[in-house]
Structure formats: C-alpha cells, structure tokens
Amino acid sequence: MATDTEELLDGAESRVYELGFHIDGELPQEEAKKAYEAIKAVITKGGEVVAEGLPQKIQLAYTISRMDTTGRRDFNSSFFSWIAYEADNTVHDAVNEAVKSDTRIVRFIDLRTTREAAKHASEMQEFYLKVPEEEPVEEDADVELDAALKEAGATV
C-alpha cells in the first residue's frame, strides 16, 4: 500500500498523455483553431507539447449526439485535433477540466502514452497528409463491366 508521501511524489511525476478531441464542425475554421489554441495554452503553462495535429475538418463515421442548454444537438462532422504532451498530474487535471468545460469541444479521449508513440503518430499523420486520396469509384463501373462482358460474348 502506498504511503501519503509516495502518493504525493507519484502525482508530481511527469507523464506523457495524448488528448484527442472533436471540435464542433459547424464552427468557422478560425473558431476551431481558437478552441485548439486554448487547450494548448493550458498544456504549455506547466507541461511540454511532444507532438500535435492541428484541427482538420472530417466527416464522422457516426452521428454524435449531445445535450446542451438549447436541447439535443447532432454532429455529423467535426474538426479533429490531438495533442501529445508531457506533464504532471496537476497540469493533466487542468487540461481535462479545460476540455470538459469548453462547449466547443464535442467529445474527447485522454490516454497515457510514450514519447516514442506520440512522435510516431505525428510522423504517420504527416505521411497520410502527403498520400493522395483515392479517386472515387464511378457508380457506372458495374454497368460498363457488364457491357464489356456482353461485347466479349460472355453471359452475365
């Protein structure tokens, strides 16, 4: 069992965390950037940013619903962002409180990680941003294939 002194020292120990969060997709790009910068400012007051991903507008895989003062709101898109940072428990608690209280943030996840994993995530993000998106497959591809097979004498 840990003593009070050990618990205090454990809280002062610096750890690496990764915070991923969705910012309201209906906000203007500049407002999303301000929300991101507000969270980053809380982190840099007592911690160090290890890696980060600036807000990028994305379509969500599923609708996120949230109750607020005006009623239920559904979100189908968001500005996704993440920050990996090193901090002690005091700063970590302040970051979580800031995220929870910011109404522009729809959802978040906060994980413990390592510097190496955070830097790797940053490298992977850079890589994927450089890879061109696949061209959408035309809906007429099946019709064209059927026509080509008929022309070649095959039965469909």
pLDDT 10s digits, 60-85? 999 999 888 889 999 999 999 999 99
Q: Which residue is listed with tokens 């120990």?
A: 13
Task: Give the residue ranges of DSSP H helices in the chain.
Answer: 4-12, 29-46, 89-101, 115-130, 141-151
What confidence tens digit (pLDDT) does each residue in 98-133 have? 999 999 999 999 999 888 888 777 677 676 667 666
Angle between helices 29-46 and 89-101 (to 10 degrees): 160
CATH superfamily of 12-134: Ribosomal protein S6/Translation elongation factor EF1B (3.30.70.60)
CA-nearest of 83, 109, 106 to 23 is 106
Domain ranges of the chain: 12-134
CB 42 within 8 A of CB 95: yes
